[in-house]
Structure 1
């Protein structure tokens, strides 16, 4: 029997007026765009996991800065049985180096204009636009 919820971390990386996104290879969000991320390993902080997953999925190096938000991703079977429950810790990161290249479980990776993403130019995983807006506010110095 699986234990729920599972903790995962997302690396939210802005560089000027652009954001780094990956296209997911695997379910539940296969084909959708979102922030690089994955499981938090036992003994690892979500901050460290965000930086590690970013590097594994894209080759980009970043320094985790602060928690932005927690996102519950819950899916149920038609009969109401819990299929999965992830608690995603969205982590604002500062870009250090590297050019994004899709690896690990990403189909594609790249930098995209923040305005285009907020305007809905790509099919996004749930919560990406709201988290991106929160990151833009944080980077402007409003609360972090």
Structure 2
């Protein structure tokens, strides 16, 4: 019998010139919410490489992975309390290199947001925390 295991993903946290690069997710979990570009880590791929690849696939933006920020557990449960989704995301700070964001792959929108404007968005959990980790500020 095979054991069900969590999926592994990576998110690219990009802050540039006082703005955060966010995408609006097309698919669950978090469909319709703003968050950082990211997705599954492929077999044999590092989380650094996955974060940069997913960022380019979803937004067309090129960036260099710099450092791990933290891990984010995404665990969803049904009404009975049974786990329906489990993913461990490696949050990776990435330095913007080039490109103008556009929506591609599995996102509906991609845009730069002034850090002070992020608080008002309907967004994924811990987006504010990731921004604080990178920017070193108390915003948003």
Structure 1 residue runs of 4 or more that deviate by more than 4 Å after TM superposition: none
Secondary structure of residue in 2 paired with 1:56: helix
Alpha-carbon distance, 1:16 to partner: 1.4
Give the corresponding residue for 1:77.
78
Larger deviation, residues 95-104 vs 73-82: 73-82
Contact 1:9 1:46 in 2 (8 A): yes
Give deviations 1:1-50, integer Å, cap 9, x for gaps: 77321110000001110010000001110100000000000100001000
TM (norm. structure 1) is 0.91
Question: Counterparts of 2:91 and 2:136 in 1: how far apart (Å)?
Answer: 14
Checking the alignment, whether the CA contact within 8 Å between 1:13 and 1:20 is kept in structure 2 is yes
1:59 corresponds to which residue?
60
- The equivalent residue for 1:100 is 101
SS in 1 for 2:32: coil
Show structure 2 runs of 5+ residues with no match: none
Q: Does the Cα contact within 8 Å between 1:48 and 1:64 map onto a contact in 2?
A: yes
> Structure 2 CA distance, aligned partners of 1:105 and 1:31?
11
How many residues get paired?
A: 136
Instruction: Give, in angstroms, the shift of residue 132 of structure 1.
Output: 1.2
Unaligned runs of 5+ in 1: 139-144
